[in-house]
Structure 1
Amino acid sequence: MSFASSEVRAILKLTAPILATQLAQVGMGTIDTLMSGYVSTRDLAAVAIGSAVWTPVWLFLAGILVALSPAVAKANAANDAENLPKLLSTAIALGVTSGLILGALVAYIGWSIPVFVDDAHTAQVASQYLYAIAIGMPISGVFLALRFYAEALNAASHVTRIMLIGLALNIPINYVLIYGLFGLPELGGVGCGVGSATVLLIMSVAMLANTRKHRLQKNYALFANALRSRFSDLLALAKVGLPIGIAIFFEVSLFTAIALFLADLGPVVVAGHQVALNVASVTFMLPLSLGMAMTVRVGHHLGSTGKGQTGTLDAKRSSWLGVKLNLGLALFNAVLITLFAGFIANLYSPDPAVVAIGTSLLFFAALFQISDAIQIAAAGALRAYEDTFAVMLITFVAYWLIGFGSGWYLAYEASEPMGAAGFWIGLIIGLTFAAIALVARLMSISNRAETIIEKMQ
């Protein structure tokens, strides 16, 4: 079997369970959106605003901790079994610390929501929804560390099973809390936040039990070692992970900013925007999952011992195979969204106005699948090379200076203001710039690494 065939198979084999895990995670947000939409349009708008706030924060936390994946993949490829649990302990310490800080941030934003949202009911539900989510952020830090550790050790299917169980539990728990069954108070849209936080705790406990059974020495004191983590180890992991988190935050926080600015146009526009955003978030998980798989695969090749130039060359070849594969998957996604835009929008709300806006915005969501997939794949490979600072700078320029700047102009300042559609066009422009710049960076870094190996021989 050729290298290309075997590597594509390896990437897809790793991508599949990571994708299932990502979809289950996003599925919880989708369930919140769907169930709140049938409470009222204002509850749907509140959950939309809340989701737009906590999703980029949660992904920022995930970005910090995904730095564990290439470190574990390299250590595993080098047969450095002694260092593996130490890496996990350090990641848990970093995850809890980061989760506490970010949880406080989410709670503060929730407290500030009434400043941005005029509708009193929408503001109240959004604030309380975020308070519930904030409590779960430190727990998320533990869960994400355990998750990325398992995925880097080719045990992604274990994570998937736990996430799917959590997804199944989320529906009945949400329903009970939204409508106040079994003597509990009727929480409406707020019940979605409380339900999601509860499910996250259940999944974290299950993931910890699974890790202890399959990937840790029997008597290894995981949390005791996490408390004793050296500052230098935390700093080393954060040095790689923080730029990843910031880069992801730059992209996803764009949607937060857009949702907040669109709030002045009324709950119907916000709800329609949320329909397109939620669908885009689901489809985003496919290229994101493949990008995560590429980080592990490229890291594995870079960490393999005794291969000299071959390991570096294989890492380079794996990177470009991943980019091409992600592009093909993106084209498939774009076609599906375009063909079924109206049907999809109708699933989210019975309100014809919301459906009309959501359907129109879904066509833009389909278009940016292509450039988004390319830039995610390139960034995934660059993470394995630990070239994360340059990625952070490129994404800042692409998303905020170019994407948001052009989107704001088209939405509000153009001769014929386009509203929500203008922001979506701006996103497409920014993502296209990011794709071009990150591919150029990957080409430079992979060639440089190959040249260094050649000079060492």
Structure 2
Amino acid sequence: MTFIRQEARALAALTAPILITQIAQMGMGTIDTLMAGYVSTRDLAAVAIGTSIWLPAWLFLSGVLVALSPLASRLHSSDQQQRMPHLQAAAVSLGLIMGVLTALVLAIAAWLLPSFSNDQQTAAIASDYLLAVALGMPAAGLFLALRFYSEAVGHAHRVTLVMLGGLALNIPANALFVYGLLGLPELGGVGCGIGTTLVFVLMALALLADTRKRRLPTHWPLLRESLQPDWEQIRQLLKIGLPIGAAIFFEVSLFTVIALFLAGLGPTTVAGHQVALNLSSITFMIPLSMGMSITVRVGHHLGRNNIEAARRTAWLGIRLNLLIAAFNATLMVTLSETIAGLYSPDPAVVSLAATLLLYAAVFQLSDATQVAAAGALRGYHDTLMVMLITFGAYWVAGLGCGYWLGFYGSEYLGIAPMGAEGFWIGLITGLTMAALGLLTRLWRVSNRYVH
């Protein structure tokens, strides 16, 4: 019981600042949307289109660099701490390289965007917004490399302070360019992209200064080392990180594809789906943050060669996530109509959203389990199987089941096409299969280490 209490406190202490950081990240996107909406509906739509493109790319970048967490946490707790600055330098190199590549991908997407839209004015704004955000991707890559290193060595609160500062700066930075303050041109939605890039740069510089002061040896040449990449260390980061980035992309893109399929079923269906999805995304931040904490704690124990503690921490984290999910699910079930009513005055939207929230309550348990198991497996550096399991669960089982139930049903089984509800049953199916697959994998990996 002593170990459980101590480890639960350690996980909670690490999860709290990571959770605040995650919420602050979501807040920046919300600020962009709200401020663009006050310019015009067209600017709001353009920012929404641009965000739907750059956010998955940014999450992939984040997934690749989160590989730093298990590597750094394991080194930090071992007798090889002298290698830590070199690992940070390699991560900075990778962050900058991946940031530039992400910027190029977004620039190409911005160039192609007008070709896929009938509304050329909205597409032009979205394209320029996307180009503005693309300029900030190298800084975002640098920030992420510094962030995950800081969290791995127990300085997650320093990242939180920088992130909250960035959130506070996002409003005036956007306002300068969106509304044309201080004599600057009024750029509307495009100004949101410029403001976001400015905030990325400032946050990267702030966290770089903090890292320089608190987490590196005095006068250690981080910049010079980063400009001379350690390709072997980068290869190790990519070996762990690319499958993580791909797994995250599979999940994010699944929700995007489902939204596209539902678009043909009318605005009420789309709105109801969006309400349930938005609330699920908010509640998911807690188990997601816990999953990141599990990665760090498992890495710490493995760095000390305490195999049994790593295994116990992994399974404790899963149990804690299930408790969190059960609490979230209870709120969704008991307050479904009240919550849905906060999003829309339309009775039809509220009714559908309240129904979908009941499905969302069910998949809270599977979602919390799979993200905790995936976090533990990252701590063991076991990421390739996570990618394969999530691809099969989400895109084959989940999307396949959802599409079949949503549009076709089954006359033989007496199931009529279920629309949005069918896709949410598909989500439950996919997340449950992912949870079962990842739990099985974790059991094998953790026992292999023990024996």
Same fold (TM over 0.5): yes
- Which of 395, 404, 408 is the matching residue for 2:399? 404
Provide the C-alpha distance between the structure 2 equivalents of 1:362 and 1:377, rounded to a whole number of angstroms: 22
| 1:203 aligned residue | 203
Per the TM alignment, residue 300 of structure 1 is displaced from its structure 2 partner at its CA by 0.7
Q: State the identity as a percent.
A: 57
Between 1:225-234 and 1:286-295, the stretch displaced more is: 225-234
Deviation string for 1:34-81 (max 9, x for gaps)? 444455555444433333322222111111111111111111111322
Bigger shift: 36-45 or 96-105?
36-45
State the distance in 2 between where 1:47 and 1:418 align: 31
Q: What are the residue-to-residue correspondences of 1:146-185 with 2, within 5 Å?
A: 146-185=146-185
Q: What is the rounded CA distance, in whole Å, between the counterparts of 2:17 and 2:392 in structure 1?
A: 32
Give the superposition deviation at 1:199.
Answer: 1.2
Match of 1:382 in 2: 377
Q: Distance in 2 between matches of 1:46 and 1:367?
A: 34
Unaligned runs of 5+ in 1: 306-310, 452-457
Taking structure 1 as reference, are residues 53 and 25 closer, same or farther at Cα in structure 2, changes over 3 Å only? same
- Alpha-carbon separation, structure 2, partners of 1:114 and 1:353: 34
CA distance in structure 2 between the aligned counterparts of 1:121 and 1:407, rounded to whole angstroms? 34
Partner of 1:33: 33
1:232 and 1:374, CA in 2 relative to 1: closer, same or farther beyond 3 A?
same
Corresponding position of 1:391: 386
Of the structure 1 ranges 236-245 and 357-366, higher mean CA displacement relative to structure 2 is found in 357-366
Partner residue, 1:443 = 443
Aligned position for 1:367? 362
Alignment partners' CA distance in 1, 2:264 and 2:96: 36
Deviations 1:197-220 (Å, cap 9, x if unpaired)? 221111111111111111112211
Map of 2:413 onto structure 1: none
Q: Are the counterparts in 2 of residues 43 and 125 from structure 1 also a CA contact under 8 Å?
A: yes
Deviations 1:217-274 (A, max 9, x none): 2211112101212222211111111111111111112123234444556777656644
CA contact (8 A) 1:30 1:278 kept: no
Which amino acid counterpart does residue 311 of structure 2 have in structure 1? K
Deviation of 1:11 after TM superposition, in Å, equals 0.7
The answer on whether the counterparts of 1:45 and 1:268 sit within 8 Å (CA) in structure 2 is no
Counterpart residue number, 1:105:
105
Letter in 2 for 1:321: L
Alignment of 1:8-27 (within 5 A): 8-27=8-27
434-443 or 331-340: bigger deviation: 331-340
Summarize deviations over 1:82-135 as a string: whole Å, max 9, x none: 100100011111111111112222232333334554444543443333222222
Aligned residue number for residue 52 of structure 2: 52
Structure 2, unmatched stretches of 5+, are 411-415
Give secondary structure in 2 for the equivalent of 1:79.
coil
1:436 Cα deviation from its structure 2 partner: 0.7
Distance 1:323 1:266, change over 3 A: same
Q: Distance in 1 between matches of 2:152 and 2:35?
A: 34
CA 135–183 in structure 1, closer or farther in 2 if over 3 Å, else same? same
The 3 A distance-change label for structure 1 pair 283 and 273 is same
| Alignment-derived partner of residue 454 in structure 1 | none
| 1:90 alignment partner, SS class | helix
More displaced, 396-405 or 179-188?
179-188
1:44-193 superposed matches below 5 A = 44-193=44-193
Distance change >3 Å, CA 143–CA 324, structure 1 → 2: same
CA distance in 2, matches of 1:146, 1:192: 24
- In 1, Cα distance between the equivalents of 2:155 and 2:271? 38
**Where does 1:285-364 land on structure 2 (aligned, <5 Å)?**
285-305=285-305, 311-339=306-334, 361-364=356-359
Aligned AA (1:333): N
- What is residue 237 of structure 1 aligned with on the other side? 237
Q: Distance in 1 between matches of 2:439 and 2:389?
A: 11
Task: Compare 205-214 and 41-50 and name the one that shifted more.
Answer: 41-50
For 2:195 and 2:63, how far apart are their aligned partners in 1? 24
| Secondary structure at 2:216 match in 1 | coil
User: Aligned partners of 1:93, 1:32: CA distance in 2, in Å?
Assistant: 29
Q: TM-score, normalised by structure 2?
A: 0.90
Query: What is the DSSP-based 3-state SS (H/G/I as helix, E as strand, rest coil) of the residue aligned with 1:157?
Result: helix
* Between 58-67 and 127-136, the greater mean CA deviation after superposition: 127-136
- Alignment-mate amino acid for residue 298 of structure 1: V
Which secondary structure does the structure 2 equivalent of 1:182 belong to? helix
- C-alpha distance 29-363 of structure 1, shift in aligned 2 (>3 A): farther
Kindly tell me the number of residue pairs found equivalent between the two proteins: 446
Shift of 1:138: 1.4
Equivalent-residue separation in structure 1 for 2:243 and 2:176 (angstroms): 40
After TM superposition, the structure 1 stretch with the greater mean CA deviation from structure 2, 377-386 or 225-234, is 225-234
Is the 1:37–1:349 contact (alpha carbons within 8 Å) kept by the matching residues of 2?
A: no
Cα distance in 2 for partners of 1:360, 1:124 equals: 37
Q: Secondary structure of 2:218's partner?
A: coil
Residue aligning to 1:308: none
| SS of equivalent residue, structure 2 residue 182 | coil
Please give the per-residue CA displacement for 1:303-329, whole angstroms capped at 9, x wherever unaligned. Answer: 105xxxxx1111110000000001111
Shift of the 284–40 alpha-carbon distance from structure 1 to 2, 3 Å rule, reads farther
Task: Give the distance between the partners of 1:395 and 1:204, measured in 2 at CA.
Answer: 31
Structure 1 pair 213/60, CA: closer, same or farther in 2 (3 Å)? Answer: same
Is contact 1:48-1:270 (8 Å) kept? no
Which residue number corresponds to residue 246 of structure 1?
246
Residues 243, 417 of structure 1: CA spacing in aligned structure 2 closer, same or farther, 3 A cutoff? same
CA RMSD of aligned residues (A): 2.7
**Contact kept? 1:411, 1:423, Cα under 8 Å:** yes
